[in-house]
Amino acid sequence: MTDTTRETDGPSVDQTPAQREAPEQRTGQHRPPDQRRSTGQRWEVVPAPTRPPAERQRRLDLRSALAVNTGRMAASLSQRLGLGSGGMIGGRLALTLQPSLLERLATGRRVVMVTGTNGKTTTTQMVAEALRAQAPAVSNATGANMLDGHVAALMTKLDAPFAALEVDELHLAQVTERFEPAAILLLNLSRDQLDRVGEVRTVAASLRRALARAPGAQVVANRDDPNIVFAASGHPNVTWVSGGVRWRDDALNCPRCGAFIGDVDRDWRCQCGLARPAADWEVTDTGVLDAAGTHHELALALPGHVNRVNATFALAAALHLGGEEAPALARIRRISQAAGRYDTVRIGGRKVRLLLAKNPASWLEMLDLVSGNDEPLVLVVNSREADGYDVSWLWDVDFEMLRGRPVQVAGDRALDLAVRLRYAQVPATVASTVEVALGGTDGRVPDVIANYTAFRDVLARSRR
């Protein structure tokens, strides 16, 4: 990985010393739902710790301790040599030396796993922050979301009682084979790099198998996404979040039996019995409604409906792990970027806001987000291995939303994008680089929407 240093900086939340002090650990302590959800107050007094933060000294066997030390050394060496954040290589090495290291490091901690096609990194950061209102939490903030990344994150602080871990959709099953997480968040499922990852249905079935191995976990799942409903419906403890779905083309047919569902915005019930569950949390234009109908303002620093949905998932997870709403929410609110997403940075002397869109569903979310303003817009599309080589998906995205609005395009596949925009009647100018594209915009702060490797490259060239 050749990521920017920013990704290793951790969350961009200003912490007061008081917040950094971990209050009494509340794990396992569940208050009744009415109390938990009906507070309109933004702040509450956090009790002073009655004993030192509940950080147990972790006793590892010799082999595991050796693996952790070697992994840490490799990580720090790799970092010093400028090979990136070093997390991945350290985790991989440690896992090689002690194959059961993941379950050993997870034992005794309360781990929240976050998965889904879109929003994993941002939501994971929100969960980590929300948990930090209670006690220290580690997280794979760099987005290394397979087992070695999880080991790397858990190694960083052996005595942190909490972990928030982003996990690749197809790797959750490997995680629950090794240990049972305290909570599992299932955000959404849609097509993503089809020539690499496989069908949405395959992923849904894999998630379903993963949940079957974790009956004691609290699942928080998106009830508006039929593929997620299918994955979670057999589980005994599910909290359902309703955030709506903008991208429907992967959910027209029942994931269980294949029958036509049609419009997923209503309370559908398939002939096979699969149905849209009732919502425990329903995301609104400004916040979220709980099951009792009480509205909670979210007032996030992060923009858009999509982040209110992510925040609701994080809040639900924090509450299930014994957190208090006000302090958890206060920390979620202050997050202003996640691994560069939504960050305002400088590129070639220009200030821009960075937005990541890596598949049709996330393009729709980001186009929806920018359609609320008329700032200059730069769209960047690459088609490297991590993006998928085929860009036919550009035609699945409703770029018609931008009709009449001038757009600058760049990236390896700028020409494909320009042709798509021509047919959508969006006036587009092709530029050789993002910097050149920015030169074609007026003096305001442009939004730059870029797909995966394009985003990574722009972020690497940017400064805060």
Query: Annotated binding site for Zn(2+), which residues?
Result: 254, 257, 270, 272
| Residue in the block written with tokens 């494909």 | 416
Residue 272 engages Zn ion in binding (rule: CB under 5 A): yes
Near other proteins by CB under 8 A: residue from 385, 439, 444, 463: 385
Q: Rounded to whole angstroms, how far apart are CA atoms 404 and 424?
A: 9
Among Zn ion, other proteins, none, the one that 253 touches (CB under a kind-dependent 5 to 8 A) is other proteins
Which helix or strand (DSSP H or E) is residue 309 part of? Answer: helix 304-320
Q: Rounded to whole angstroms, how far apart are CA atoms 383 and 362?
A: 16
In the complex, minimum distance from the CB of residue 244 to Zn ion, in angstroms, rounded to a whole number? 21
Residue 268 engages other proteins in binding (rule: CB under 8 A): no
Among Zn ion, other proteins, none, the one that 262 touches (CB under a kind-dependent 5 to 8 A) is other proteins
Handedness of CA 362, 365, 371, 375 (dihedral sign): negative
**Is 442 one of the annotated active-site residues of the chain?**
no
Phi, psi of 276 (to 5 degrees): -75, 125
- Collapse the DSSP code of 376 into the 3-class scheme (helix H, G, I; strand E, B; otherwise coil) and give the result: coil
Near other proteins by CB under 8 A: residue from 252, 257, 272, 299: 252
Residue 61 engages other proteins in binding (rule: CB under 8 A): no
In the complex, minimum distance from the CB of residue 385 to other proteins, in angstroms, rounded to a whole number? 7
Near other proteins by CB under 8 A: residue from 40, 265, 294, 389: 389
Residue 274 engages Zn ion in binding (rule: CB under 5 A): yes
Residue 418 engages other proteins in binding (rule: CB under 8 A): yes
**Which of positions 362-391 make contact with Zn ion (CB under 5 A)?**
none
What string marks each residue from 190 to 219 as x (binds other proteins by CB under 8 A) or -?
Answer: -x--xx---x--------------------
| CA 356 to chain CA mean position, Å | 12
Residue set of the binding site: 254, 257, 270, 272
Among other proteins, Zn ion, none, the one that 107 touches (CB under a kind-dependent 5 to 8 A) is none
Closest by CA to 286, choosing from 278, 274, 298, is: 298
Residue 220 region by backbone torsions, left for phi larger than 0, else alpha for psi between -120 and 50, else beta: beta
In the complex, minimum distance from the CB of residue 360 to other proteins, in angstroms, rounded to a whole number? 9
Give the neighbor-by-neighbor strand order of the sheet with 137-139.
Answer: 137-139, 162-166, 110-115, 183-186, 218-222, 238-242, 281-283, 287-290, 295-297
Give the neighbor-by-neighbor strand order of the sheet with 447-450.
Answer: 344-347, 350-356, 447-450, 377-380, 407-410, 428-430
Residue 148, CA distances (Å) to 1, 71, 89, 97, 456 in order: 13, 10, 8, 12, 21
Q: Rounded to whole angstroms, how far apart are CA atoms 318 and 126?
A: 10
Q: Which is nearer to Zn ion, 139 or 227 (CB)?
A: 227
Among Zn ion, other proteins, none, the one that 274 touches (CB under a kind-dependent 5 to 8 A) is Zn ion
Q: Rounded to whole angstroms, how far apart are CA atoms 200 and 225?
A: 12
In the complex, minimum distance from the CB of residue 279 to Zn ion, in angstroms, rounded to a whole number? 20
Near other proteins by CB under 8 A: residue from 165, 428, 437, 450: 428
**Which of positions 231-270 make contact with Zn ion (CB under 5 A)?**
254, 256-257, 259, 270
Residue 208 engages Zn ion in binding (rule: CB under 5 A): no
Exposed / middle / buried, residue 290 (Cβ in 10 Å: 0-12, 13-18, 19+) = buried
Q: Which of 267, 290, 390, 442 is catalytic?
A: 390
In the complex, minimum distance from the CB of residue 258 to Zn ion, in angstroms, rounded to a whole number? 7
Residue 314, CA distances (Å) to 44, 220, 227, 321, 385 in order: 19, 9, 20, 11, 31
Binding part of the chain for other proteins, among 84-92, 166-174, 218-226, 413-421 by CB under 8 A, reads 413-421
Please list the active-site residues: 390
- Chain positions contacting other proteins, by CB under 8 A: 191, 194-195, 199, 249, 252-253, 258, 260, 262, 385, 389-396, 415-416, 418-420, 422-425, 428, 430
